[in-house]
A and B are shown apart, each in its own frame.
Chain A
Amino acid sequence: MATESIPTVYTPQFPSWRHRLARLTPWLGVVPFFLFALAFLLGPASYLLVGSLRDLQGNFTLDNYRNLNQPLVKGAYILSIQISAITALGGGLFGFLLAYAVTIGGLPRFVRSGLLTFSGVASNFAGVPLAFAFIATLGRIGLLTTWLKLIGLDIYDRGFTLYSFAGLSLTYMYFQFPLMVLIITPALEGLKREWREAAENLGASSWQYWWYVALPVLLPSILGTMILLFANAFGAHATAFALTGGTYNLVTILIGAQMRGDVLRDPGLGYALAMGMVLIMTVSITGYTLLQRRAERWLKR
C-alpha cells in the first residue's frame, strides 16, 4: 500500500509579514479598551504597587510593608475588619431570614416582590444621604432617639452614640442586608421541592432535611455572599466619612487622610496601606466568585 502525500499547496512555509500583520488586525478593535484599562485601572494600581516597593531614594524595599505594623495603621485595619465582619455576619443573617421568610416561609407573593424591590433600592442607597438619614434617626435629636426618650430610655445617656462602632455598624447594615436578600433569594428558590419530598419519604425529620440536604446546598451561597458583604463594607468610604467627619480610623478614611496631607509622613507607607486594602479586596472577591460558582451547580435546571 503506497501512501501518497497530498501536497498542501496554498500554505506557505514562511508566512510573510503581510500575513502576520493580517492576523493581528482584529486586535486593533480592542486597543481603545486596553488603553482605557491601562489609563484608569491598571496604571493607577501599578503605580501604587511600584510605589509601595520603593523607599524615598527610589530603591527596591519591603520596608513599607514591614512598617504597616505600627499602631495607627494596625488599628485602622483591625477596626475595618471588625466592622466589616460584624456587618457581614449580622447583615447576612438578617438578610437570610428575610429571604427565607418570603420564599419558604409561606408569605403572600406580593411580600416577596415588595422585599426584592426595596432591597434593590436600599442596597444602592449608600454614601452621604444614607449617613444623613441615620443622623436624622439615631443622632442626638433623631426621631428614634426622641421616641425612646419619651418612654424613658435616653440612649445617649447610656453611652450610645451614632458616631461610634455600634452606630456605624447599624448604618452599614442598611445596605448590607438588602444585598444578602438580593443574592440569596434565588438560591433559596433553587431548593427543589423534590429534595424535601425525597428526604421525607426516606423518613427524614425537618431538622435532618435542613442539616443534611438544604444546608450543604446553600452553604456556598451563604458563605460567598457574606464574604461579598465583608468586601462591600471594607471598601466603603463616603458613608463613614460623612457620618464621622473623618475622625474614625478606618482603612479607607486613613487612605483619604494620607492622600490629603501625608498623615503617615511616609509616601511609601501610604502606598503599602492602599495595596494591603487591594489584597484584602482581591482575596474576598475571589472567594465570593469561587463559592458562587460552586453554588451555581445546584441552581442549574
Chain B
Amino acid sequence: MKFKWAWVWIILGIVYFFLPLVATINFSLKAERGRYSFRAYQIVLQDPQFISSFTLSIQIALLTIVFSLLLIVPTVYWAHLRLPQVRPILEFIAFLPFVLPAVVLVFGLIRIYSGPPFALFNRAWGTNLIMVGAYMALALPYMYRSVDTGLRAIDVRTLTEAAQSLGASWPVILWRVIFPNLRTALLSGAFLTFAIVIGEYTIAAFLGRFTFGPYLALLVRNRAYEPAALSILSFAITWSIMGLIQWLTYRAPGSTQVAAGPR
C-alpha cells in the first residue's frame, strides 16, 4: 500500500481535536480521590448558582431569538417585496457586527446607556434589555443571512399576492405564509443564535449579569473538577446544536454558515 500523507494530517487533526476533550472528560471524572465517578457533575448540577445562571442564559437566549425573528423577518421580507433599493443598506448593517467585537460593542453600550438621559443600568430590566439588544446585534449577521437566503429561495411576490387576493392581512401573511416557508432557515438561524448566547462571557460579564458564561469563568478560577464537568456540558450543547443545524439544512440549497465570530 502506498503511504499517504493525507492520513498523517487527519490523524494529527483528530489528536488536536480530541485530546483536549479526553483530558477534560478525564478531569471531570476525578472528583473523588482514587476512582472515577460522576461526583463533579452531581455537585455542579445541584448548585443553585448553576441553576439560576443557566436558567437566566436560556431565558436571555430565547428572548434574543424571538426579538431577532420579529425584527429581522418582517424587515427583510419587506425589503424583498417593496424596497429592493434598501437591501444593500441592510446588508451593510448586518455586516457591522463583524467589525465591532463584543468587547468594543459592550464598551460603547455601557458608555451610552449608563449616563443620563437613559441610566438604564439602574434597573434589572434595563440591563436585560441592553443585553438582549447586544446579543441580537452579535447574532444579526447569521440571522440576516439565514432569512435572506431563505427569502431568495421562495417567490415572495407571488406568495404575497396569492395571500392578498384571498383576503389575508399583513400579520396573517407573515405568520401563515412567510414564516412556514422559511422554517428551515429560521430554525438554523435560531439554533446558531442560541449557541452564541448560551455560553457568551464578555458582554454578560461587563454588564454585570451572572449568566452561564461568568458562572463558568468563576468556577474555572476557584474549582478544579466542576468546571471540567461544565465544559463537557457546554461542548455537548454546541455539538447538539451544530448537529441539529446540519440535519436541518441537509438538503437545503446554499451553504450553511456555522462559524460564530470571535470569542
Closest beta carbon of chain A to B116's beta carbon, Å: 14
As a 0/1 sequence over residues 92 to 126 of chain B, the CB contacts with chain A under 8 angstroms (1 = contact) are 01011111111111111111100000000000000
B38 at the interface (CB under 8 A from A): no
The answer to whether B16 touches A174 (Cβ under 8 A) is yes
Q: Count residues of chain B with CB under 8 A from any CB of chain A.
A: 84
Which of A48, A126, A131 contacts B111, CB < 8 Å?
Answer: A48
- Report the Cα distance A263→B96, complex, angstroms: 28
The answer to whether A128 touches B133 (Cβ under 8 A) is no
The answer to whether A133 touches B21 (Cβ under 8 A) is yes
- Report the Cα distance A270→B110, complex, angstroms: 13
B82 at the interface (CB under 8 A from A): yes
- Do A252 and B238 contact each other (CB < 8 Å), given the known contacts A127-B199, A241-B201? no
Chain B residue nearest to A173 in the complex (CB)? B16
CB-CB < 8 A to A39: which residues of B? 133
B180 at the interface (CB under 8 A from A): no
Q: Count residues of chain A with CB under 8 A from any CB of chain B.
A: 84
CB-CB < 8 A to A179: which residues of B? 259
Binds B, one of A13-21, A104-112, A193-201, A214-222: A104-112
The answer to whether A105 touches B6 (Cβ under 8 A) is yes
CB-CB < 8 A to B105: which residues of A? 40-41, 44
The answer to whether B112 touches A44 (Cβ under 8 A) is yes
- Report the Cα distance A105→B231, complex, angstroms: 34
- Report the Cα distance A33→B133, complex, angstroms: 12
Closest beta carbon of chain B to A198's beta carbon, Å: 24
The answer to whether B201 touches A36 (Cβ under 8 A) is no
The answer to whether B101 touches A259 (Cβ under 8 A) is no
- Report the Cα distance A242→B96, complex, angstroms: 26
Chain A residue nearest to B26 in the complex (CB)? A143
- Report the Cα distance A175→B231, complex, angstroms: 15
Chain B residues numbered 11-27 whose CB sits less than 8 Å from any CB in chain A: 12-13, 16-17, 19-24, 26-27
B185 at the interface (CB under 8 A from A): no
B206 at the interface (CB under 8 A from A): yes
Chain A residues numbered 113-152 whose CB sits less than 8 Å from any CB in chain B: 115, 117-118, 120-137, 142-144
Chain B residue nearest to A28 in the complex (CB)? B78
As a 0/1 sequence over residues 219 to 244 of chain A, the CB contacts with chain B under 8 angstroms (1 = contact) are 00000000000011111111101100
Chain B residue nearest to A26 in the complex (CB)? B82
CB-CB < 8 A to B7: which residues of A? 101, 107
CB-CB < 8 A to B78: which residues of A? 26, 29-30
- Summarize B's interface: helix, strand, loop or mixed: helix
Which of B79, B103, B258 contacts A124, CB < 8 Å?
Answer: B258
Closest beta carbon of chain B to A298's beta carbon, Å: 16
As a 0/1 sequence over residues 272 to 288 of chain A, the CB contacts with chain B under 8 angstroms (1 = contact) are 00100110011001000
- Report the Cα distance A30→B86, complex, angstroms: 9
CB-CB < 8 A to A122: which residues of B? 17
CB-CB < 8 A to A71: which residues of B? none
The answer to whether A255 touches B103 (Cβ under 8 A) is yes
The answer to whether A48 touches B262 (Cβ under 8 A) is no
- Report the Cα distance A30→B112, complex, angstroms: 24
Chain B residues numbered 216-237 whose CB sits less than 8 Å from any CB in chain A: 216-217, 220-221, 227-228, 230-231, 234-235
Chain B residue nearest to A107 in the complex (CB)? B6
- Do A242 and B220 contact each other (CB < 8 Å), given the known contacts A47-B108, A106-B6, A124-B238? yes
- Do A278 and B112 contact each other (CB < 8 Å), given the known contacts A124-B259, A232-B262? no
The answer to whether B9 touches A97 (Cβ under 8 A) is yes
Given contacts A47-B108, A106-B4, A238-B263, 14 further A-B contacts (CB under 8 A): A29-B83, A33-B75, A94-B13, A101-B6, A102-B10, A105-B6, A107-B6, A124-B259, A136-B23, A237-B102, A238-B201, A252-B103, A259-B107, A278-B104
- 3 cross-chain pairs, A with B, having the tightest CB-CB distances, nearest first: A44-B108, A105-B6, A235-B262
Interface residues of B (CB under 8 A from A): 4-7, 9-10, 12-13, 16-17, 19-24, 26-27, 71-72, 74-75, 78-79, 82-83, 86, 90, 93, 95-112, 133-134, 136-137, 140, 195, 199-202, 206, 213, 216-217, 220-221, 227-228, 230-231, 234-235, 238-239, 241-243, 245-246, 255-256, 258-263
Interface residues of A (CB under 8 A from B): 26-27, 29-30, 32-33, 36-37, 39-45, 47-48, 51, 94, 97-98, 100-102, 105-107, 111, 115, 117-118, 120-137, 142-144, 173-175, 177, 179, 182, 186, 231-239, 241-242, 245, 252, 255-256, 258-260, 270, 274, 277-278, 281-282, 285
